[in-house]
Amino acid sequence: MIDREFVFNPEDFERIRLLIRSRVGIALSDKKRDLVYSRIARRLRSLGLRTFSDYLDYLAQEQDEMQDFINALTTNLTSFFREAHHFDFLADQMRQVNALGQMRRFTIWSSACSTGEEAYSIAMTAIETFGSWTPPVKILATDVDTHVLAQARQGVYGLERIEKMDVQRLKAFFLKGKGDRQGSVKIRPEVQALVSFQQLNLLAPSWHLRGPFDAIFCRNVMIYFDKPTQYSVLEKFHPLLNESGLLYAGHSESFQHAANLFKSKGKTIYQPVRLASNNKVRR
């Protein structure tokens, strides 16, 4: 038996598992016991508590702690131009809509944006595609985790985060940090101006969003949800996409169980299934 700093019983793990699943949809398997311990142990340390059971009682009483609890249990791994083929596809999609000569903005929702790399990569793609610092593009970027959203809004990244970036893009879209920001880079304000960040829980009963969107990026978050939860999120995405709108998913995500809602266009890109106007989408 490992000697642990804090008392952590199987019942504590069950309580945590139920709570995080009901709040944000994250389904934790038994294998995540150690991960949960190390993530939540930080909260116990900063609150001066000795046992997980005390922490869970504290959490039940202190509403403000819930956000820290959620922030501690989300996994925020991301990178600039992650799954690069999506950005080539998106550029083509923007060109096609632009070619139709419609006088409207191309709208994109990055629905689990983490620290902002995905949304800023979309903004850079738009600037390159339209050859303008002010392309007719609007990007909404949301996440349930307030900690990553604060970092995303700042747009400041350590050099290790841009190691794999194309040099041309680095020069065009980033400013080198000076003074106490030495060793980091900042996204150029023109890129930041295209993105607005907002907190949003994909599990919330209603999202209060103004669609429709040309593209929804929902990448590498559905893997944490079980299939019924994925389905209910997909049901809400469906009416938010316009006629030619597309859903971009993560590399290991497949929505075959929602074939009545979305059909694959290949490369983890999905198109909403449209039925005759009087027919509702059926499960």
Q: Are strands 137-143 and 106-110 parallel, antiparallel or unpaired?
A: parallel
68 is an interface residue for ligand SAM by CB under 6 A: no
Nearer of residues 114 and 230 to ligand SAM, judged by Cβ: 114
Per CB under 6 A, contacts with ligand SAM among 149-208 are 201-203
Nearer of residues 33 and 161 to ligand SAM, judged by Cβ: 161
148 is an interface residue for ligand SAM by CB under 6 A: yes
φ and ψ at residue 48, rounded to 5 degrees: 70, 30
Question: Is 202 annotated in some ligand binding site?
Answer: yes
Nearer of residues 31 and 280 to ligand SAM, judged by Cβ: 31
Q: Residues 53, 67, 75, 151: which binds ligand SAM (CB under 6 A)?
A: 75
116 is an interface residue for ligand SAM by CB under 6 A: no
Q: Residues 220, 222, 241, 262: which binds ligand SAM (CB under 6 A)?
A: 220
Please work out the total of residues on this chain that contact ligand SAM, with binding judged by CB under 6 A.
24
The single residue of 12, 143, 145, 214 carrying the catalytic annotation is 143
Nearer of residues 250 and 272 to ligand SAM, judged by Cβ: 250
145 is an interface residue for ligand SAM by CB under 6 A: yes
Report whether the peptide linkage leading into residue 228 is cis, meaning its omega lies within 30 degrees of zero: no
CA-wise closest residue to 233 among 251, 219, 245: 219
43 an active-site residue? no
Stretch that binds ligand SAM, among 7-15, 32-40, 137-145, 274-282 (CB under 6 A): 137-145
39 an active-site residue? yes
As to burial, measured by CB atoms within 10 angstroms (0-12 exposed, 13-18 middle, 19+ buried), residue 205 is: exposed
The single residue of 23, 33, 39, 169 carrying the catalytic annotation is 39
Quick one: which H or E segment has residue 264? strand 262-264
CA-wise closest residue to 121 among 161, 71, 76: 161
For the bound state, the minimum distance from the C-beta of residue 186 to ligand SAM, rounded and expressed in Å, comes to 20
For the bound state, the minimum distance from the C-beta of residue 268 to ligand SAM, rounded and expressed in Å, comes to 11
CA contacts within 13 A on the Cβ side of 17: 15
24 is an interface residue for ligand SAM by CB under 6 A: yes
Question: Is 9 annotated in some ligand binding site?
Answer: no
Quick one: which H or E segment has residue 153? helix 146-154
Q: What is the DSSP letter of 8?
A: -
For the bound state, the minimum distance from the C-beta of residue 146 to ligand SAM, rounded and expressed in Å, comes to 9
For the bound state, the minimum distance from the C-beta of residue 209 to ligand SAM, rounded and expressed in Å, comes to 13
For the stretch 3-11, contacts whose Cβ atoms lie closer than 8 Å and that sit 24 or more positions apart, written own/partner, are 4/37, 5/41, 5/45, 6/37, 6/41, 6/44, 6/49, 6/50, 6/51, 6/52, 7/50, 7/51, 7/52, 7/53, 8/37, 8/51, 8/52, 9/52, 9/53, 11/53
Q: What angle do CA 118, 122, 123 make, to 5 degrees?
A: 115
The catalytic residues are: 39, 143
Residues in contact with ligand SAM by CB under 6 A are 24-26, 74-78, 82, 112, 114, 118, 143-145, 148, 201-203, 219-221, 224, 250
